[in-house]
Structure formats: C-alpha cells, structure tokens
C-alpha cells in the first residue's frame, strides 16, 4: 500500500502521517528530498540518484498475492480534531472506480490529465484511470494548471481526452478560457456546490463530447455519483449530482435511517465496492461513520454516512443541498473547522 505525501504540506503534517501510517520506506526525487521532515530516519529511495540501479531490476510483473480486499493506499484528509485522519482504500475500490464502469469508458487511446496532486483523491481517478486501461497520463505542472489560458493550450498540445477539475477550477476556466475543452472526450467536474452559470457557458461556447458532474467523498474512492450534463435551463439553481456509478448504492435517509420521499431532504448514505476499509487506528470514528447496512442481505455490508444533505428529484437524480455539520470545501479540499 502507498501513502501519497504532498511535498508542499507542512513538515509537521508530513511527520504525523509518516508515523501514523507506520511508513517503512519513502520514494522521492532530488527536488523533493529536502521536504522530508527531520524526524524521518527510515530508508529513502531517490529515483533520480538511484535510477541506474533501478533500471537493472527485473522487468517482469511481480506476483504479489494481493487480493481485492488488501489495502491499496491510505489518504489523509482534514480531521475535526486538528489532526489529519487516514482513510484506508482497498484494491477493489480502485478497480471499481476505473475498470468496466458505466460513467466513463477509458481505453488505451485516451490521454488522461493529472491536474490534482497525488495526495488529493481525484488523483486516484487520474493515475489509475490512465494506467489500468493502458492509456497515457499527461502530468500538468501546477504553474500551468493555475493559468486558464496556459492550461487550455496544454490540453490541446498534448491531445488530452479526459480531465477532472474541481468545480472552482472549472468555473475559473469557464470565465477565462471557455473554449479550452474542445476535443476533450470526457470532462468531469465536482467537489463543491456548483454554479449553473458556468456550466451553461461551457455547454454553449465549446462543449466537450461528454460533460459529467460528479460527486463523492474520499471514503468512497473519489466518485460516488455522476450526471451527464447536456443542458442547463435558465431557471436552474443547481446541477444534479445524478445517480450512483456501477457497483455503488446510494440512499437518502432520515435521522431514523428510513428512506425519505422524493423532494424531501435527507442525509446521503453510500454502500458498495468503493467503500474504504476504515479510518486508520480510529475504531470509534470508523464505527460512527461506517454503519451496518439495513438494506443488504450480504453479511457485514456497511453504509458510509456522508453528512451531506440531498434530495431526490422527480426523475430519480440526486440534488445536493449542503452539510449537516460545519465541514466546508475550499477549492475542492474539505476542511473540518474544528
């Protein structure tokens, strides 16, 4: 299993993650070596300095014995106690996100943009969506990602066919470079409340082949629901987050965990193959958020309580309203105000 470390994160946060996750080895490069906290005394592989030795290693696939239930990675998000909390994602959850699913069909001819840092869960879709389908990963430097016109040129230059943007960055692109997505097969956006004005702008000026509004917490491996967005009427105040992706279940429940009628707001609960195993070393929090699934006949099935308030529209799609608690989103990153 891997633990992505953002070199721009504060040293104290990196030191906590290294200790909390019981990391045994750090893989890095020359540019990032100095960012490791001073407390780290474990082994380090610098791929720049050691590439000649690495290149002599066998090229055959490793027989690992890993199964669908084994851990794939631990990703840290903001914690309500002030300490980040590690979310353990199993192998099956990554496969469920990008292989033989219904919301997207990635192939070996696709070029998938990596805009997110590896410690943001959108990177799971970007990295493994490309690599597990034999496609090409196009890494977007941060300086380019933050400049709409530079990003638009980069997408055209490298023939990017699939890209995910946080809603904030999507809005920024729609304002400054609305023609950026011409030729893109799949444009996905989400991560916070949407402003329909900018969705209409992209659809009217230069739409991609498919525009998907997606939703999902890290605890359910990046994406939970999707909505193919083809039109947005002038009176619309929001865009639905849609229906669950394949191998995923969603329920809108009241405080007694009973389904609510169409049009009535309730809390969104999630089940299926995308669920995390747990919050690392936090059994009480795991038990609070991952509860037994009363609607499943499979022993041990669980639901994740998202804390998000939603409702069903008459057409069966789900519409997002807001939070039950004080969690907020800043440019797609979730912040626990506590």
Calculate the CA dihedral of residues 77, 78, 81, 87 and round it to 10 degrees: -10
Q: What mean pLDDT value characterizes the chain?
A: 94
Q: Do 290 and 238 form a contact (C-beta atoms < 8 A)?
A: no
Rounded Cα distance, 241 and 199, in Å: 13
Percent with pLDDT over 90 in the chain: 85
pLDDT digit string (tens) for 29-49?
Answer: 999 999 999 989 999 999 999
Instruction: Please name which of 112, 116, 92, 115 lies closest in space to residue 104, comparing C-alpha atoms.
Output: 112
In the predicted model, what is the mean pLDDT of residues 171-182? 93
The pLDDT confidence band at residue 235, using thresholds 50, 70 and 90, is: confident
pTM, 2 dp: 0.92
Q: Do 171 and 198 form a contact (C-beta atoms < 8 A)?
A: yes
Rounded Cα distance, 125 and 166, in Å: 13
The pLDDT confidence band at residue 325, using thresholds 50, 70 and 90, is: confident
Q: Are strands 111-114 and 136-139 parallel, antiparallel or unpaired?
A: parallel
pLDDT digit string (tens) for 256-311?
Answer: 999 999 999 999 999 999 999 999 999 999 999 999 999 999 999 999 999 999 99
pLDDT digit string (tens) for 180-214?
Answer: 999 899 999 998 888 899 999 999 999 999 999 99
Instruction: Please name which of 20, 23, 19 lies closest in space to residue 1, comparing C-alpha atoms.
Output: 23
Three-class secondary structure of residue 294 per DSSP: coil
- pLDDT above 90 for 78: no
Rounded Cα distance, 317 and 314, in Å: 7
Rounded Cα distance, 121 and 129, in Å: 12
φ and ψ at residue 53, rounded to 5 degrees: -70, -40
Q: How much is the pLDDT for 336?
A: 76
Three-class secondary structure of residue 325 per DSSP: coil
Could you tell me which residues are beta bridge partners of residue 2?
73
In the predicted model, what is the mean pLDDT of residues 165-169? 93
- pLDDT above 70 for 332: no
Q: To which H or E segment does residue 329 belong?
A: strand 328-330
- pLDDT above 90 for 335: no
φ and ψ at residue 87, rounded to 5 degrees: -115, 120
Rounded Cα distance, 197 and 200, in Å: 5
Q: How much is the pLDDT for 79?
A: 73
- pLDDT above 90 for 326: no
Instruction: Please name which of 62, 57, 132, 58 lies closest in space to residue 94, comparing C-alpha atoms.
Output: 132
């Amino acid at each position: 299993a891997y633990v992505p470390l953002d070199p721009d994160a504060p040293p104290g946060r990196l030191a906590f993650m290294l200790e909390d996750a019981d990391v045994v080895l750090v893989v890095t490069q020359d540019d990032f070596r100095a960012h490791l906290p001073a407390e780290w005394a474990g082994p380090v592989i610098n791929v720049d300095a050691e590439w000649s030795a690495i290149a002599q290693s066998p090229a055959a696939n490793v027989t690992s014995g890993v199964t669908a239930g084994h851990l794939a990675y631990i990703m840290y998000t903001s914690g309500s106690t002030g300490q980040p909390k590690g979310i353990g994602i199993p192998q099956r959850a990554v496969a469920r996100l990008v292989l033989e699913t219904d919301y997207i069909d990635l192939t070996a001819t696709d070029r998938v943009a990596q805009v997110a840092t590896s410690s943001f869960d959108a990177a799971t879709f970007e990295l493994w969506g490309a690599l597990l389908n034999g496609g090409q990963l196009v890494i977007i430097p941060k300086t380019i990602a933050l400049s709409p016109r530079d990003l638009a040129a980069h997408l055209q230059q490298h023939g990017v066919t699939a890209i995910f943007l946080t809603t904030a960055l999507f809005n920024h692109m729609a304002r400054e470079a609305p023609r950026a997505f011409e030729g893109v097969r799949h444009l996905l956006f989400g991560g916070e409340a949407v402003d329909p004005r900018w969705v209409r702008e992209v659809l009217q000026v230069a739409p991609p082949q498919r525009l998907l509004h997606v939703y999902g917490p890290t605890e359910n491996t990046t994406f939970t629901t999707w909505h193919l967005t083809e039109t947005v009427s002038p009176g619309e105040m929001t865009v639905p987050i849609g229906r669950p992706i394949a191998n995923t279940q969603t329920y809108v429940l009241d405080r007694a965990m009973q389904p609510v009628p169409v049009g009535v707001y309730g809390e969104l609960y999630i089940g299926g193959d995308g669920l995390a195993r747990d919050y690392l070393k936090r059994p009480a929090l795991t038990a609070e958020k991952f509860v037994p699934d009363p609607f499943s006949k499979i022993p041990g099935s669980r639901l994740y309580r998202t804390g998000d308030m939603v409702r069903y529209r008459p057409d069966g799609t789900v519409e997002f309203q807001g939070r039950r608690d004080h969690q907020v989103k800043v440019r797609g990153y979730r912040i626990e105000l506590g």
